[in-house]
Structure 1
């Protein structure tokens, strides 16, 4: 079936506006429901799509109203926030980015898409592609970190995983869902790391850093795009015609649906660019925003905007046509019940297969940050273990924010995971303190310290609660919340080797633990299979391979911080006060982008380079240890002299390699001439002749890189 050619002509103004109106389902004890005003609006044809409604039964009931009880019978589509999994929750994106494994990124998105589609969903509000260089900003946990190249590859992998490999629309199969690239664009640069705050970016930074991941997602076929809540230089993205219609639709050829963020069109009023809902509606529609999510600005303001001449009927009809075409591309006009054939009320729990993938993804996302004296992995018979701290037996917190339809009761905590992995081992568990420091904790603290005194191994589980990262979760202090720092000091004072498991959505400043702990594993928020994955790392069943996708500061005063900064005219010179430096601490981060350890050691040779049609860079990587393991090799470039000053380092490629003990292998990178392009004075790509320094290494630590110079003609 195709859309009737006269459908738009037969629609009333209210029905047209209704197609642009996305509303949220209500919730009851039994789960998401369509009720109250939503049901009435559906029957009146004033709703075109619904989010926060999942389960084939609820979706079928809503679709039945739209198709069988409205004048025109136009089907709905259903969306949901599936940031890192639906019923099976995978590691948070910032954690998974540290795997530096596009195949894994695609695999977890595909599993999430399958579960979402089976629950009646057509669209997910993911992937989040915001570059984040300020760990105070809570939403950094939802994205791929600080580097544009990593974010571009993350974008492509996630879009393929969600939509399938072929769809410039979404895959019409049972497994595919529409990917929504968000938040377009620059949201991660919010002032002072505060969510929803102003953004002021240069055109160059926008072009070089923040736009490329979205362009990659669009080129891969993402069928939906969501503007950010924020502004850029005073112009809110929800009203940014130059970027939405000019850049995305015009230059990039984006032909999908633009969906506002929650309430964002109405928020043009407090932004100070609209006087009322009619103004706000006109600004957003003229900018190219097709769907209004939950501000009701189109429903309440577009009629008046038309009367004032602020928007034309042609512009409205164009948006309506895009919505209808989108539904047609999804196959909804052919079969509106394609994903809700029955009345199944709840999504199925995680399958054994999905749990296995979640476990693998979680283990591949955990970063070994410190390991002195071979504290890890644990011996086969480790003796008595004290598993202490507020996150030692957490369930829901293991899922982090935006946990989809995941259940804390289905998440496996560290205590259960370690108990299963070490049968017969005595494991004493005590929380010690709470995460946020509320309540009388003295008795629990005494119990934990007593367990630590008696133990052969102390495993201290600290960090953030799941809600402390994500949306509306900015933190001015990025240290351990509550009384955890003082508790950790008491544990360290016992003189036992302490293994720290850190659960958080951002780098945490905890200098005493970094100085005194025997080992530290950054677990992030690992998801449904948190406990088994932690056990895999601690016991050595899995050799850690993840690396940091962000720079880890020594102190909050260093942020924003990232590896790809420019030198400036007075770069740091030790001993010269009048160069770029702090008086009270070093410039260098605690840990660079790409940092991470393994249970084996790797070495690599100086790079050999050859310049032909492509630039070929080779380095020989050797596993110098006694265990098999994987590592990530990074290829950076430096352009020492350019018309526009370039960053000290720019990531050009990365590769994972697995080696047996003593094995060596040649890692080869190929770069075409375009890899050395940058936005010139007019912001158009330019490749300049001259020297380029190429660096290979295991992180962005400048002192550990090995380099060679080439000449571009």
Structure 2
């Protein structure tokens, strides 16, 4: 559950009260939604074509997890509705592991073993109070040597979600897969959006616990989530301003509660020869639900002439807070983290005197606290840095 990111929520989540839930989509009742490329089921299927006897250890599917965790005052109906894709989308290329350069390995689709009846699903959706649409990829659509032709939802999944939205019932979109998928055409009209990635063997229970509010979502994005298809890097650290091509920024993730950051403390000066310095700040759970917050530490240069990225993650701390509770987070930051790499004749790591901005926030675009540190002394040069990431404690 700690890897599942809540991207959007208009208040529909967590589910409360008497609810008739309709569950649909190619990943609702499939183990292929739970485990990524380098897992026993995926490797057995891809390399050996094995489709039987793959469920050990048992992989909990979303539908199964929702039924297992379902409160007494709720009911669930299910129909697959659509398949992953109607045609083979895997793009054949001679790259990566040469053993996978066989046409027959890549030119195939996963058989779900279920009938996808679109009309039945839409009819059942009309009768529900809320719709959970489980979409995304599978072992043949995401993995080594398995490029796709685009980044949108495979096949006709997007069109199916549009039809679900057209029923007028709130749609909770749950996406599975190993990468961000462009959903800009449907995101605005979904009541909630969850990026589940490949959540593992207990993935069905993990997503269900979030849907029902047994736990609050706490994960943060490890990528800049695009709103357009493009074939180039899209990284948060190229600008302190959010790129217009980004739907949700690096470090972003919603919770069922709210958090307040304050009381940041840090010495204003340190020496270039110091191993480290320490900063601290308070995080308060200002909502009514116990939850975790992932507080993030970023570094920015104070001037444009410094040889640093405009913003760069330097550490984080997962803070578990009961409703109303405050904790103080302490972070040990190494002066190595303020340095930069050069290669003029020989490679070297440089720690230069100057002013640096230490920023604490809930995402790369939600900075709550900032302090300025001045490094004094001569520039320190070493062949390679000794420390790469900060160390946090409560």
Same fold (TM over 0.5): yes
SS of residue paired to 1:626: coil
Per-residue deviation, 1:606: 6.2
SS of residue paired to 2:161: helix
Match of 2:80 in 1: 431
**Aligned pair 1:386/2:16, yes or no?**
no
1:246-299 CA deviation, whole Å, 9 max, x = no partner? xxxxxxxxxxxxxxxxxxxxxxxxxxxxxxxxxxxxxxxxxxxxxxxxxxxxxx
Give the unaligned 5+ runs of structure 1: 1-362, 573-580
SS of residue paired to 2:230: helix
Mapped contact 2:33–2:177 kept (Cα < 8 A): no
> Which of 358, 368, 371 is equivalent to 2:6?
368
Per-residue deviation, 1:383: 2.1
**Aligned pair 1:457/2:130, yes or no?**
yes
Task: Quickly say closer, same or farther: Cα 1:488–1:712, change in 2 above 3 A.
Answer: same
> Which of 224, 240, 255 is equivalent to 1:598?
255
SS of residue paired to 2:77: strand
Per-residue deviation, 1:512: 3.0
**Aligned pair 1:492/2:165, yes or no?**
yes
Per-residue deviation, 1:533: 1.4
Q: Hey, which of these two has a bigger chunk of helix by percent? A: 1
Higher relative contact order (CA 8 A, sep 6+): 2
SS of residue paired to 2:117: helix
CA distance in 2, matches of 1:512, 1:661: 36
1:53-64 superposed matches below 5 A: none
Give the unaligned 5+ runs of structure 2: 43-53, 88-110, 377-394
> Which of 665, 671, 689 is equivalent to 2:353?
689
Mapped contact 1:639–1:691 kept (Cα < 8 A): yes
Per-residue deviation, 1:588: 4.9
CA distance in 1, matches of 2:244, 2:36: 31
CA distance in 2, matches of 1:443, 1:491: 14
Mapped contact 1:459–1:498 kept (Cα < 8 A): yes
CA distance in 1, matches of 2:290, 2:232: 37
> Which of 678, 703, 708 is equivalent to 2:340?
678
1:333-390 CA deviation, whole Å, 9 max, x = no partner? xxxxxxxxxxxxxxxxxxxxxxxxxxxxxx1111111111x211111x4421100111
CA distance in 2, matches of 1:405, 1:448: 28
**Aligned pair 1:710/2:373, yes or no?**
yes
Task: Quickly say closer, same or farther: Cα 1:566–1:685, change in 2 above 3 A.
Answer: farther
Please, what TM-score do these two structures have when normalized by structure 2?
0.78
Q: Hey, which of these two has a bigger chunk of strand by percent? A: 2
SS of residue paired to 2:279: strand
CA distance in 1, matches of 2:146, 2:249: 24
Number of residue pairs the alignment of both structures matches = 331
CA distance in 1, matches of 2:351, 2:319: 31
1:8-58 CA deviation, whole Å, 9 max, x = no partner? xxxxxxxxxxxxxxxxxxxxxxxxxxxxxxxxxxxxxxxxxxxxxxxxxxx
1:5-84 superposed matches below 5 A: none
1:189-204 superposed matches below 5 A: none
CA distance in 1, matches of 2:324, 2:255: 15
1:541-598 CA deviation, whole Å, 9 max, x = no partner? 121111111111111237311111268xxxx8xxxxxxxx9xxxx6351111111111
SS of residue paired to 1:485: helix
Tell me the C-alpha RMSD between the 2 structures.
2.5
Mapped contact 1:566–1:645 kept (Cα < 8 A): no
Per-residue deviation, 1:705: 4.3
Mapped contact 2:261–2:368 kept (Cα < 8 A): no
SS of residue paired to 1:511: coil
Per-residue deviation, 1:643: 6.4
Match of 2:146 in 1: 473
> Which of 304, 319, 342 is equivalent to 1:657?
319
Per-residue deviation, 1:688: 0.7
